Amino acid sequence: MKGFPVCLLAIFLGGCATMQPGKPTVSILVDLDPASVDRTVIVESITADKEGRLYLPDRVTGNILRVDPKSPKPTVDARIAAREIKGKKVNAAASGLAFNAQGDLFIAVGPFTEVVRVRGADLNAQKPGTAQTFATGTAGANGIVFDRQGNLYVSGGASGIVYRVGPNGGAAQSSVQIEKFSRTLPDGKAQQAIVANGVEFDSKGNLYVADTARGAVWKIEMAAGGKAGKPVILAQSPLLEGADGLAFDGGGKLWVTANERNAIVTVTMDGKVEEIAKNGSKGPLEFPGNIVFVGNTAYVNNFDTPRRDNMDANGKTALDGIGASIAQIKP
């Protein structure tokens, strides 16, 4: 009843739902490994194409999974082949992914220190395409995002570097440096040192970087021509510990997954942090990795890493809950 007077007023102003302060609902769209809860599929990130279909790279197989929310049965639409590096087989273990304006899909692959590309025409469940090298020299490649000029920005994890790659790919250049930092998790043992994780642009072309280690979001103003300003902290809060993926909603509010807290929080442009959803180890959020909006619905990949609030009562595994999956958040 708390929102009732506001809602009554809103009826006269022509709307009600958007005025209601009620919490959004979180549920599971699809279990990506229905026979298991034990990481036979591992998805660290999610994105959507222009038609609203969802894409997630599976670290176990190198498959790029596609899920249409209207009929959520995953298909394999492309693959990232494992490589032999220094005599050892190295799996792609892909992280962030993003489409460019032309509809080609780009995927950050930390173990290759590369960003790879699948052409839009090769995203095909009947004949899955194979990813090819697009950008090199991106050590710790994690989150990726395009600016409006078609330049690709790639976060470098614990190094704090955000790389920049032109629209034609090639060797990455350092664009932004977030100061290094490390935090000890509440177990007193695990160290969290990733300061450049999820990356996102706002409508004005400013860059935002999720700082997992500090529990913070950085803002970087970008001058015309792409020169980056000095990073400033937009928000820092215990609610943001484990900050991983970022996405703006239609109202210009930044949504952040706080992976190690099994939580989703929002950050306003004046730095106010608010918790939207949080749960224990049983889900529906299980170490949420990234977030993407399709209309008013947000989709989140459950990375399901056994850490902090996502661990079972035994403090070692994350076997309760559903495991690798996509959670949906509806207003």
- Please report, as ranges, the residues that interact with Ca ion according to CB under 5 A: 31, 33, 286, 304, 318, 321-323
3-state secondary structure of 121: helix
Q: In terms of CB distance, is 67 or 178 closer to Ca ion?
A: 67
Q: In terms of CB distance, is 74 or 321 closer to Ca ion?
A: 321
> 163 - beta bridge partners?
154, 174
Q: Nearest to residue 33, comparing CAs of 71, 78, 65, 69?
A: 65
Q: In terms of CB distance, is 31 or 114 closer to Ca ion?
A: 31
Q: What's the CA gap between 286 and 296, in Å, rounded? A: 22
Least distance (Å) between residue 94 CB and Ca ion: 19
Alpha carbon of 109 to those of 65, 66, 73, 121: distances in Å?
Answer: 16, 18, 25, 21
Q: In terms of CB distance, is 75 or 266 closer to Ca ion?
A: 75
> What token pair was written down for 257?
């997954």
Least distance (Å) between residue 302 CB and Ca ion: 8
Least distance (Å) between residue 232 CB and Ca ion: 36
Q: What's the CA gap between 173 and 151, in Å, rounded? A: 11
Alpha carbon of 136 to those of 114, 133, 147, 247, 307: distances in Å?
Answer: 5, 7, 19, 26, 31
Least distance (Å) between residue 310 CB and Ca ion: 6
Least distance (Å) between residue 43 CB and Ca ion: 11
Q: In terms of CB distance, is 37 or 158 closer to Ca ion?
A: 37
